[in-house]
Structure 1
Amino acid sequence: MPMLQIALWLCQYWPVRQDRTLPILPEECKQMNVEGAVHEMSDTVAREMQWHRNRHGWTRKQLAERCQELGADWLTFAAITSIETGRLDENGRRRRGVTVDELAVIARALLVPPVVLLFPVRNETDVTWSPAEKAHPWYAIRWFSGEGRQPVKPKGGGEYDPATGLYEWYEEEPKDNHEQLDLLRNHERLTRAWVESEQRAINAHRFAELAQSPESRQARLIEADGEDLYRAQVIERDLINVRRAIRRLGITPPTNEELDQLDRKGTNQ
């Protein structure tokens, strides 16, 4: 077995400390973790957090204070400085990456979505979205948020045709499982449509009360009845089905008093 595979196997199956916190890694694994580490995405986050910090006119100390106000007491001035500079080693490589916890609170303090720090859209250059993989920021954002596929070009094989620039065959594109997110997005869309339909019906009734003629009043009442019918027979039906599908995946759908009533209505159907 090649040494690399042996080292990876040991990293996976090496005994765990008695306190059950971190595995005891052999020296080969520790060396691989340090020497093989690439922090391109951390470099991007550090560069963007500095840019947004300067946009606010804040010092590193002020950003640290804002992070601490949000509960991240470990993000001191020294920690912010370490993240932004990377504490480069003698080879010019970043010693310190950015953790998920730090990304979330720093983005919150800077008043930007975390994904904007990871994949900045303020320029047109491709960004690193996975080790050795680059793509336009928007494609990276769509993948990261579960809205799009992995932004990779299918690898071709077989005979290459220089006239068309195409290979004989291509590998199948990786397909991520978006089912949970797709259902929740559909739920949000239907909930918004449900509320908007109800508001249109309410407005139609109000206009009917203010109508100057019987014909105008009748037209508004017909409009309100149409909205009520559409909401009951189409939107509510679809929303009930989506909420059932979400629960079948073991997920609790968003809820409030109106949605609870809709669930009870769906149970009686």
Structure 2
Amino acid sequence: MSKVVLITGGSSGIGKSIGEFLSQKGYNVYGTSRSPQRYPKSKIKLVALDVADVESIEDAVKIVVSETGQIDVLINNAGAGITGPIEEIPNEEIKRNFETNLFGPINVIKAVLPQMRQQNSGLIINVTSIAGYMGLPYRGIYSASKGALELITEAFRMEIKDFNIQMTNIAPGDFETNIAAGRYHAPVAKGSPYEVKYGAVLKAIDDDVNKGNDPLMVSQMIFKIINTPNPRIHYKVGAFMQKFSIVLKRILPDKVYEKLLLNHYKL
């Protein structure tokens, strides 16, 4: 029997790329979307799931288990971007971002664990971000939500190891997807003390995404992880300098690294 893979956020972007790639490799892939009916030409099966709705998460997992009898791999891919000066981002948008990027993945994990425990096997891959390794200016909320998921994974791994269930993170850099279209960004407010610098950084962020690598790189890394008997805790995928920035943060004094970021963003 082919392995059953559940991918949250499987209708577009990186999730769609992963789903189609794994389907071509012979996996039985289920993607999720809040509105599956909007994607009648999807090359993978889509089930309804909203990561901010625990009942919809549980219903989606029940559908997959009832149709296949198993869930071998969960890829927690659904996520949302957010930009803006932290001072000016409405609290409800901050909470919404954490609901999608942190609490949602935790609740999906909780929903699949009983099935994986019953199988005495399973692999959970949490898609985080290289941005989660550092506090980036005007992306602080996104950095925090993705960084929190990295740490949650480290703790979760140790709690579930006795059940023969593995968990890992994969942190992508910038990839050419439609994430900018679905991202919340605080408006560049006329007269704001952040107007000029935030406006410039926002343009640079969008340019980086538009010049990003092919999401196929992430799909190939996911495939490699699935076929690794004992996956590492953390994986990074993206441009060399993006991955190397994590190394620099580890070895450089804090203020030296901060200066590098300020220079990069021309702040």
TM-score range, shorter chain: under 0.3
More helix by share: 1
The structure whose RCO (Cα within 8 Å, separation 6+) is larger is: 2
TM-score, normalised to structure 1, is 0.22
Question: Higher strand proportion, which one?
Answer: 2
Instruction: Give me the TM-score of the superposition, normalised by structure 2.
Output: 0.23
